[in-house]
């Protein structure tokens, strides 16, 4: 199914229009501080977040998986699902593919489907954390860090293949996340594992086209529970530097130990021009892959405050590649992704409302109370009217979740695809 512009415009007419008055109020309040609400509406409308191809099906745990029907069985159907989210929100204009789950059979046909939905291909993702059927080497004891030279070469060659597919699709970056590590003490020589990883990443970096970027993701634990070779931002940063200037660190919100100060990591990386990619999700305990903003919305706002500062003050840092990296064990994934996009844009809009001039003055005067007041004044502002105006301007639905239900999207997908299909992925 596809939602037309006219259907969405008609839906918008049926929506409550109070948000326009709410924006008038915000304009009169923030103009006094020199903050332009219409410029913020434009920035929010322009903000695009990639949807990963593996987030469109039901997620599961090692204990089980519950289907909900109408899942996309093919890459074409996955792109159509992203197209539906993008038509409603106008903020999901990019997709991030996972190889080998999404190897296109007909590159041109896939490009055409994406173009019809106004979607472009963001970072490609390689997979060396599981063995594929008929694999010639095993990743059981690691991939890029493996003690077995043939396994390392096999993993490097896989990444080269991902680059070739991505190049044909028009992608410009590769994200590498490694499960490599040790389950038990003594299993690995840490220094050899790190050196092997560095050598392998350098080979992958050398295989990238000149206009590509390499994003190196880190994670403290899981699936290995004793050590992970790229465990933190410092290790990723070090490896990125060892590869070259087009290699960057990728921050995934769920890949930190509890209470890590992620906003400080963001600030440090942007200061050094090395924050390349960003994965959104939320968590209570670990890498829980929960809906963005569902647990710690204030932490997300503080992170966005640093991202906004970095985007405005760090020309040495490229514009980051944004992606949602979450799982949806019992929610309709499309509804969950719409909720995540809403949370991301709310945190972004609130960060744009921070009175940076006043904050700088308060910091110079060491007025700690004032500093907190300035941040919380922005955080406590209801910005939902800004998001509504941004989406309407861009041709999306004022209330995407309400529209999704009004158009009975899930039922139509079940009618088209059936109840039993299962999307490829985890």
DSSP 3-state assignment of 8?
helix
CB of 262 to Mn ion, least distance (A): 13
User: Which of the ranges 206-214, 239-247, 273-281, 302-310 carries the binding residues for Mn ion, by CB under 5 A?
Assistant: 273-281
Interface with Mn ion includes 274 (CB under 5 A)?
A: no
d(CA 202, CA 30): 48
Interface with Mn ion includes 279 (CB under 5 A)?
A: yes
Of 341-400, which residues contact Mn ion (CB under 5 A)?
Answer: none
Chain CA centroid to CA 151, Å: 29
CB of 378 to Mn ion, least distance (A): 28
Structure-block tokens of residue 89: 């929100």
CB of 279 to Mn ion, least distance (A): 4
Interface with Mn ion includes 325 (CB under 5 A)?
A: yes
Phi, psi of 220 (to 5 degrees): -75, -35
Q: Which is closer to Mn ion, CB of 20 or CB of 284? A: 284
Q: Which is closer to Mn ion, CB of 44 or CB of 201? A: 201
d(CA 321, CA 278): 6
User: Which of the ranges 25-33, 130-138, 319-327, 385-393 carries the binding residues for Mn ion, by CB under 5 A?
Assistant: 319-327
Interface with Mn ion includes 252 (CB under 5 A)?
A: yes
Q: Which is closer to Mn ion, CB of 252 or CB of 306? A: 252
Q: Which is closer to Mn ion, CB of 46 or CB of 222? A: 222
User: Which of the ranges 123-131, 160-168, 249-257, 285-293 carries the binding residues for Mn ion, by CB under 5 A?
Assistant: 249-257
Structure-block tokens of residue 121: 């291909």
Residues of the chain by 3-state class (helix, strand, coil), percent to 5: 50, 10, 40
Q: Compute the CA torsion angle 330, 251, 258, 194 (nearest 10 deg).
A: 110
As to burial, measured by CB atoms within 10 angstroms (0-12 exposed, 13-18 middle, 19+ buried), residue 159 is buried
CB of 276 to Mn ion, least distance (A): 13
User: Which of the ranges 20-28, 60-68, 89-97, 271-279 carries the binding residues for Mn ion, by CB under 5 A?
Assistant: 271-279
Of 114-153, which residues contact Mn ion (CB under 5 A)?
Answer: none
Q: Which is closer to Mn ion, CB of 176 or CB of 389? A: 176
In contact, 334 and 412? CB cutoff 8 Å: no
CB of 125 to Mn ion, least distance (A): 9
As to burial, measured by CB atoms within 10 angstroms (0-12 exposed, 13-18 middle, 19+ buried), residue 213 is buried
Interface with Mn ion includes 289 (CB under 5 A)?
A: no
CB of 252 to Mn ion, least distance (A): 4
CB of 61 to Mn ion, least distance (A): 17
Nearest to 135 by CA among 155, 119, 112, 149: 155
d(CA 126, CA 98): 6
d(CA 51, CA 85): 9
CB of 142 to Mn ion, least distance (A): 19
Q: Which is closer to Mn ion, CB of 48 or CB of 385? A: 48
User: Which of the ranges 106-114, 272-280, 389-397, 407-415 carries the binding residues for Mn ion, by CB under 5 A?
Assistant: 272-280
User: Which of the ranges 4-12, 141-149, 252-260, 370-378 carries the binding residues for Mn ion, by CB under 5 A?
Assistant: 252-260
CB of 38 to Mn ion, least distance (A): 34
d(CA 29, CA 128): 52
d(CA 414, CA 421): 9
> Which residues of this chain interact with Mn ion, rule CB under 5 A?
252, 279, 325
């Amino acid at each position: 199914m596809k939602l037309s512009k006219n259907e969405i415009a008609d839906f918008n007419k049926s929506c409550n229009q109070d948000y326009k008055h709410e924006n008038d109020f915000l304009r009169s309040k923030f103009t006094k501080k020199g903050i332009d609400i219409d410029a913020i509406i434009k920035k929010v409308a322009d903000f695009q977040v990639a949807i990963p191809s593996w987030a469109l099906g039901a997620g599961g745990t090692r204990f089980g998986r519950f289907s909900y029907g109408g899942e996309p069985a093919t890459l074409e159907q996955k792109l159509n699902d992203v197209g539906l989210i993008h038509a409603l929100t106008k903020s999901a204009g990019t997709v991030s593919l996972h190889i080998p789950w999404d190897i296109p059979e007909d590159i041109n046909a896939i490009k055409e489907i994406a173009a019809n939905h106004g979607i472009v291909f963001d970072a490609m993702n390689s997979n060396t954390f599981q063995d594929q059927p008929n694999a010639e080497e095993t990743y059981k004891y690691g991939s890029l860090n493996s003690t077995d030279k043939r396994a390392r070469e096999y993993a490097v060659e896989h990444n080269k293949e991902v680059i070739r597919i991505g190049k044909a699709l028009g992608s410009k970056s590769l994200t590498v996340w490694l499960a490599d590590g040790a389950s038990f003490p003594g299993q690995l020589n840490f220094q050899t594992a790190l050196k092997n990883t560095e050598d392998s990443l350098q080979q992958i970096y050398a295989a990238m086209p000149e206009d590509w970027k390499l994003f190196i993701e880190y994670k403290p634990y899981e699936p290995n529970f004793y050590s992970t070779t790229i465990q933190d931002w410092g290790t990723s940063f070090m490896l990125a530097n060892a590869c070259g200037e087009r290699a960057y660190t990728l921050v995934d919100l769920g890949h930190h130990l509890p209470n890590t100060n992620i906003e400080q990591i963001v600030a440090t990386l942007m200061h050094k021009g090395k924050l390349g990619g960003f994965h959104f999700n939320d968590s209570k305990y670990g890498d829980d892959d929960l809906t963005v903003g569902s647990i710690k919305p204030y932490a997300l706002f503080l992170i966005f405050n640093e991202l906004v500062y970095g985007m405005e003050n760090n020309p040495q840092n490229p514009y980051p590649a944004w992606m949602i990296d979450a799982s949806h064990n019992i929610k309709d994934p499309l509804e969950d992704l719409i909720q995540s996009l809403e949370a991301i844009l709310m945190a972004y809009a609130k960060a744009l409302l921070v009175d940076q001039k006043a904050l700088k003055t308060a910091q110079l005067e060491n007025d700690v109370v004032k500093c907190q007041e300035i941040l919380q004044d922005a955080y406590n502002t209801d910005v939902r009217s800004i998001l509504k105006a941004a989406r309407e301007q861009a041709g999306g639905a004022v209330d995407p979740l309400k529209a999704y239900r009004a158009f009975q999207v899930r039922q139509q997908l079940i009618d088209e695809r059936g109840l039993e299909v299962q999307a490829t992925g985890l």
